[in-house]
């Protein structure tokens, strides 16, 4: 099956580079291009791409606002947003993850890593490097002080689900969580699925955000 990608960036040269790269892969294809957030939302509705490769800094509606609109529409639930960012934009990346993005890439990533990232997100997985993700979310939470009531929905979780959520927030894979809690990877997978349902999270990226918002992981002061 061919993964259809919508390119969103206000710089035509960058879009051209991404188009050349993606169209060179047998299993990937560019579904369309947008130069700002409003166009991105409109084209996502009309083209229903599998992945939206989204820049953050754009005129008009930026990538965060566009991601939030796409993620909030029921009819676009299958669309995954992959954020493109640069160093120094930690707070913006955190906001994009809160808005529903499934992961993020640095703009200076290698062509091979970008192609791999698109495939990963299209398969329903989150693209979250634990080290970078922790840095991004800690920076975002530090600049946006957490309120104790941000995630009251965590009260409905069992003790084991809270344990799994905390470890997901730390960037651990299912196999690592299973080893840490002395349970099977299949049991961890079941807990993660229940967490996604109970917390109305699109994917693992939103579970990481929930762990921080709920106070299971405390950013440095």
| CB-CB contact of 90 with 131 (8 Å) | no
Topology at the third CATH level for domain 147-213: Arc Repressor Mutant, subunit A (1.10.10)
Per-residue pLDDT for the chain (221 aa), expressed as one digit of tens each?
Answer: 899 999 999 999 999 999 999 999 999 999 999 999 999 999 999 999 999 999 998 989 999 999 999 999 999 999 999 998 876 566 777 788 889 998 888 888 889 989 999 998 998 877 765 555 666 666 655 555 544 456 889 999 999 999 999 998 887 889 999 999 999 999 999 999 999 999 988 888 888 888 888 888 765 44
Name the β-bridge partners of 33.
Answer: 7
- Backbone φ and ψ for 33, nearest 5 degrees, come out as -135, 145
Q: Parallel, antiparallel, or unpaired for β 28-34 and 3-8?
A: parallel
Multiple choice CATH, 3-127, 3.80.10.10, 1.10.150.120, 3.40.50.2300, 3.40.50.1970: 3.40.50.2300
What are residue 32's phi and psi, to 5 degrees?
Answer: 175, 175
| Sign of the CA dihedral running 55, 61, 65, 68 | negative
- pLDDT tens per residue across span 54-110: 999 898 999 999 999 999 999 999 999 999 887 656 677 778 888 999 888 888 888
How do the domains of the chain map onto residue ranges? 3-127, 147-213
DSSP one-letter code for 26: T
Nearest to 103 by CA among 31, 11, 171: 171
* Spatial distance between the Cα atoms of 166 and 162, rounded to a whole number of angstroms: 6
Tokens of 202: 């699109």
Domains 3-127 and 147-213 share a fold: no
């Amino acid at each position: 099956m061919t993964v259809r990608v919508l390119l969103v960036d206000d710089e035509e040269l960058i879009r051209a580079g991404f188009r050349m790269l993606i169209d060179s892969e047998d299993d990937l294809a560019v579904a369309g291009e947008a130069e700002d957030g409003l166009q991105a939302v409109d084209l996502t509705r009309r083209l229903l791409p599998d992945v939206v490769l989204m820049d953050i800094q754009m005129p008009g509606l930026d990538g965060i606002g566009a991601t939030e609109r796409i993620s909030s529409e029921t009819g676009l639930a299958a669309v995954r947003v992959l954020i493109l960012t640069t160093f120094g934009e930690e707070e913006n990346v955190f906001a994009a993850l809160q808005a529903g993005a499934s992961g993020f890439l640095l703009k200076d990533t290698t062509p091979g890593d970008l192609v791999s990232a698109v495939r990963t997100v299209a398969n329903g997985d989150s693209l979250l490097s634990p080290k970078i993700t922790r840095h991004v979310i800690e920076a975002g939470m530090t600049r946006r002080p957490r309120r104790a009531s941000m995630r009251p929905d965590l009260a409905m979780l069992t003790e084991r689900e809270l344990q799994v959520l905390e470890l997901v927030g730390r960037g651990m894979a299912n196999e690592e969580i299973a080893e840490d809690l002395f349970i099977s990877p299949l049991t961890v997978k079941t807990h993660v699925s229940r967490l996604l349902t109970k917390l109305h999270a699109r994917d693992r990226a939103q579970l990481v955000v929930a762990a921080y918002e709920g106070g299971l992981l405390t950013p440095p002061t």
